Chain A
Amino acid sequence: MSGIILKDLDVWFGQGANRVDAVKNANFAVPLGESFGLVGESGSGKSTILRAITGLAETWSGTIIIDGKTLGHKRDSEFYKTVQMVFQDPYASLHPRHTVDQVLSETLSLHGFDDIENRIDKLLLDVGLGPSFRFRYPHQLSGGQRQRVAIARALAPEPRILLLDEPTSALDVSVQAEILNLLTDLRAQRGLTFLMVSHDLSVVSHMCSRMAVMQNGYIVEILSVEDMRGQNASHPYTRHLLASSLGFTSSEAAQ
């Protein structure tokens, strides 16, 4: 059973002469339980695909099927219970005047949960924050702690599919590893499906089993992580990405 299916997805911004086609003719399918990566350079349309799925980008055409349901342009609350998203920058994704408690209790009440008190404590424990963090404001938290709160918020409706928009790119390296391990653990515990955007091939190869490589709005290649590790890319752009991620020391290996 497929979790996410995209067929002929086009996403654009603006109209007429100002129209920018951010994603062109994207096709891929992610089975439930899989972790799928989207890689490419800045502006290649990776994040735009996530925004089209969540409804934040409203101008799109094609077919998006989530968990067997074809999406229209309006999303219902059932959709938000199935799909949640973690944003790139934890410094921008938490309301500056809301405590962790407010963020989580509002999310839970919007999804119609009762027993909010216990659920908040449990969510905080699940993402590795103790109850002492519950009444803090975002400015009293570090970047990694903020991202944990953002992950707790995304997990609150108990979604089956999590969209991750470069969840570690705003964090420093040691914290990146913690957050990635947390995400890996949560996925194993809850059987989540990940669709993860990153420009960092090592992150994607750590987290995902397959990935799509994007360039200028097109998906140029879909390959497995084994193929990537074995340098079995067929498209020249993918080979170029692999070569540049290997750096100077082993550049001959990319030949």
Chain B
Amino acid sequence: MSQTDLAAPTQGTGWRAWLLSDTPTSRRHAKVASLYQSWLQFRGNPMAMFGLMILVALVLIAAFASFISPYDPFVQELGNRLQPPGAEGHILGTDSLGRDLLSRIIYGSRITLYIVTLVAIIAPLIGLFVGTVAGYAGGFLDVVLMRITDIFLAFPRLVLALAFVAALGAGIENAVLAISLTAWPPYARIARAETLTIRNSDYIHAVRLQGAGALRIITKHIWPLCISSLIIRVTLDMAGIILAAAGLGFLGLGAQPPSPEWGAMVSDGRKFILDHWWVATIPGLAIFIVSLAFNLLGDGLRDVLDPKESGE
């Protein structure tokens, strides 16, 4: 519906007409046109665009951190410690060791993106694999895989992550691993539920009648349909993942000092929170803004990728 509405005023101009064509002329054309129509739909959602813009800004900040940040994030200047925001030379103030908070926030964005990207790759992949195999195979394999999933689901997430980190040692890589290992079970459940509805549909029967094997059906026919709901769920979970990473950092089990990880920075500022509120508040605000951006983006993606769930 909305695609044809959007298509109407743009007919006629060169590349747009090509992108909105109803009769694509090559494989790539069909793919690009379908992506462009999703983009048009996504662009119509201002809140989602706002979220996307924040995240694009975050990526740019992380990429150009060494050019933007006014100071080295690790250089201590004890004479200048605990300066309030707006102090001369330090827009966001300084922390207990006199390090510039703005520079630390800017460099911390790299760590946040690193954690988020790794978790967003590892956890949904495990979940997708376990869920689709369990759902498609059924029977004994389904029971075994889903009971393992249930065991992981039964643990509180942060507690299990704490146990993993305690066993593997503190550090950012182990925090990523611990968060991923605790984040996959919900994805496995979603992927399995989707697979159960897809596996008995006529288009799967049809490809079985062409002699396709289970591996081809799962990877080429079931995965493309599961991935959109997983992307939505991952984006909406991203806030929780950032908070879990920050939580591990706060507890001293994630990033180690002097790393400018936002959770660890909040933890640092906790000691001075009554007299020097900004030391904990500013990294907290950064966590809040990025989490919010991921939630807005997730909502927008849901409208585009899964119109059924968005309630429209």
Interface, chain A (partner B; CB < 8 A): 54-56, 75-77, 80, 84-85, 87-89, 92-97, 99, 101-102, 106-107, 110-111, 132-133, 135-137, 140, 150, 153, 157
A110/B211 contact (C-beta < 8 A), A136-B22, A136-B24, A137-B30 known? yes
Interface residues of B (CB under 8 A from A): 22-27, 29-30, 34, 201-203, 205-212, 220-221, 224-225
Report yes or no: A95 in contact with B23, Cβ–Cβ below 8 A: no
* Cβ B210 vs Cβ A111 within 8 A: yes
Given A87-B202, A89-B202, A93-B202: A80 touches B27 (CB 8 Å cut-off) = no
The smallest C-beta distance from B49 to any residue of chain A, in angstroms, reads 25
A97 vs B207: C-alpha distance when bound (angstroms): 14
A80 touches B211 (CB 8 A): yes
18 A-B pairs with CB atoms under 8 Å apart are A54-B209, A77-B211, A80-B209, A80-B210, A80-B211, A87-B202, A87-B205, A92-B203, A93-B202, A94-B203, A95-B203, A99-B27, A102-B27, A106-B207, A110-B211, A135-B25, A150-B206, A153-B206
Closest 8 CB pairs of A and B: A135-B24, A93-B202, A135-B30, A92-B202, A95-B203, A87-B202, A132-B23, A77-B211
Q: Which of B205, B210, B211, B220 has the most CB of A within 10 A?
A: B210
Q: Quick check: B201 and A92 within 8 Å, CB to CB?
A: yes
**Once the chains bind, are A157 and B25 in contact (CB under 8 Å)?**
no
**Considering residues A97, A110, A135, which has the most beta carbons from chain B within 10 angstroms of its beta carbon?**
A135
Q: Are A56 and B205 in contact (CB under 8 A)?
A: yes
Residues A110 and B225 in contact, CB atoms below 8 Å apart: no
- B211 neighbours in A (Cβ, 8 Å): 75-77, 80, 110-111
- Whether the pair B205, A101 counts as a contact (CB closer than 8 A) is no
B221 partner, pick from A54, A55, A95, A136, beta carbons under 8 A: A95
Q: Is the CB of B202 within 8 A of A140?
A: no
| Chain A residue nearest to B227 in the complex (CB) | A97
Closest to B24 in A: A135
The interface residues of chain A lying within 8 Å CB-to-CB of B201 are 92
Known contacts A84-B209, A95-B221, A110-B210; 15 additional CB pairs below 8 A are A56-B205, A80-B209, A80-B211, A97-B224, A97-B225, A99-B27, A99-B30, A106-B210, A111-B210, A111-B211, A135-B26, A136-B23, A137-B30, A140-B22, A150-B206
Return the contact of B34 from the options A87, A95, A106, A137 (Cβ within 8 A): A137
Q: How far is the CA of A55 from the CA of B220 in the complex (A)?
A: 21
Residues of B within 8 A of A85 (CB): 206, 209
In the bound complex, residues from chain B placing their C-beta under 8 Å from that of A150 are 206
Minimum C-beta distance from B36 to chain A (A)? 13
Contacts of A106 in B (CB 8 A): 207, 210, 212, 220
* Cβ contacts under 8 Å, A137 to chain B: 30, 34
Expressed in whole angstroms, the Cα–Cα distance for A200 and B202 within the complex equals 22
Q: Which of B27, B206, B225 contacts A135 (CB 8 A)?
A: B27
Contacts of A107 in B (CB 8 A): 207, 210
Per the bound structure, the CA–CA distance linking A80 and B212 in Å amounts to 10
Q: Are A135 and B205 in contact (CB under 8 A)?
A: no
Q: Which of A97, A137, A153, A157 has the most CB of B within 10 A?
A: A97
Verify A136–B30 contact, CB threshold 8 A: yes
Closest B residue to A109 by beta carbon equals B210
Q: A75 to chain B: which residues have CB within 8 Å?
A: 211
Q: List the B residue with the shortest CB-CB distance to A89.
A: B202
**Who on chain A is nearest to B206 by CB?**
A93
User: Given contacts A56-B205, A137-B34, is CB(A96)–CB(B225) below 8 Å?
Assistant: yes
Instruction: Please report the C-alpha to C-alpha distance between residue A85 and residue B209 in the assembled complex, in whole angstroms.
Output: 8
Please, how many angstroms separate the alpha-carbon atoms of A89 and B206 in the complex?
12
In the assembled complex, how far is the CB of residue A153 from the closest CB belonging to chain B, in whole angstroms?
7
In the complex, what distance in Å separates the CA atom of A157 from the CA atom of B211? Answer: 11
What residue of chain B has the Cβ atom nearest to residue A137's Cβ?
B34
Task: Find out whether the CB atom of B208 lies under 8 angstroms from the CB atom of A56.
Answer: yes
Q: CA–CA, A133 to B26, complex, Å?
A: 11
